[in-house]
Amino acid sequence: MRQVAWRDFYHQVLAARPATSVADYRPRRDRWRRDDEAFAAWRDGRTGYPIVDAGMRQLAAEGWMHNRARLIVGSFLTKTLYLDWRLGAQHFLDLLVDGDVVNNQMNWQWVARHAPLVDLTEATERFRAARGH
Ligand SMILES: Cc1cc2nc3c(=O)[nH]c(=O)nc-3n(C[C@H](O)[C@H](O)[C@H](O)COP(=O)(O)OP(=O)(O)OC[C@H]3O[C@@H](n4cnc5c(N)ncnc54)[C@H](O)[C@@H]3O)c2cc1C
């Protein structure tokens, strides 16, 4: 259920702020690196990190990747290589069989820590309290 809630939430955010499909939801003045070779290694599954490379090779071969792998490769691109999330988002959209502008761009922003942050723990507690659990 929680996953489906994310999908709906992201659709509402993008409907309200369409520019977020390309612009940072929460600008942090990132000064992304430019490194074509590092990006190519990530894209082609040649980083040397088996779990990252496995995910990227699966994407290339099947057009799909498990959610956890998407989080890992996205984090690697934006946090480890410090490359712009938009590069990864475009590559995903080019190859994913379930490629979807809302889910893709907003998840990439989440991975790059630009997305709106929602405290699901707190929301769950409030829900439980309202139901008397
Ligand atoms: C960097 C990145 C890019 C992504 N790009 C896309 C994309 O282009 N298209 C896409 O449909 N999903 C995308 N996702 C979300 C998620 O990875 C897929 O929806 C999920 O892999 C689908 O697997 P499932 O059907 O087993 O999901 P389940 O876990 O069974 O969830 C049920 C349904 O909820 C929705 N859902 C699940 N996780 C998410 C999520 N994090 N955000 C929004 N909706 C979700 C999906 O419609 C999914 O079918 C992306 C996630 C990340 C981290």
Q: What is the pLDDT of residue 133?
A: 63
- Cα(1) to centroid of ligand 1, in Å? 12
CA angle 71, 114, 127 (to 5 degrees): 80
Would you tell me how many other CB atoms lie within 10 Å of the CB of residue 23? 13
Distance (Å, whole) CA 105 – CA 111: 10
Task: Report percent pLDDT > 70 for the chain.
Answer: 87
CATH code for the part of the protein at 33-130: 1.10.579.10
CB of 67 within 6 A of ligand 1: the answer is: yes
Probe residue for ligand 1, chosen from 67, 78, 120 as the CB with the greatest number of ligand atoms within 8 Å: 67
Average pLDDT over the chain reads 89
What is residue 120's predicted lDDT score, i.e. its pLDDT?
47
Q: What is the pLDDT along the chain (133 residues), one digit of tens a residue?
A: 778 898 999 999 999 999 999 999 888 889 999 999 999 999 999 999 999 999 999 999 999 999 999 999 999 999 999 999 999 999 999 999 999 999 999 999 999 986 544 454 555 566 667 777 6
Residue bearing the CA closest to ligand 1, atom 37: 3
| pTM of the full structure | 0.86
Residue 35 corresponds to which tokens in the numbers above?
Answer: 């490194």
Return the H-helix or E-strand segment holding 60: helix 50-62
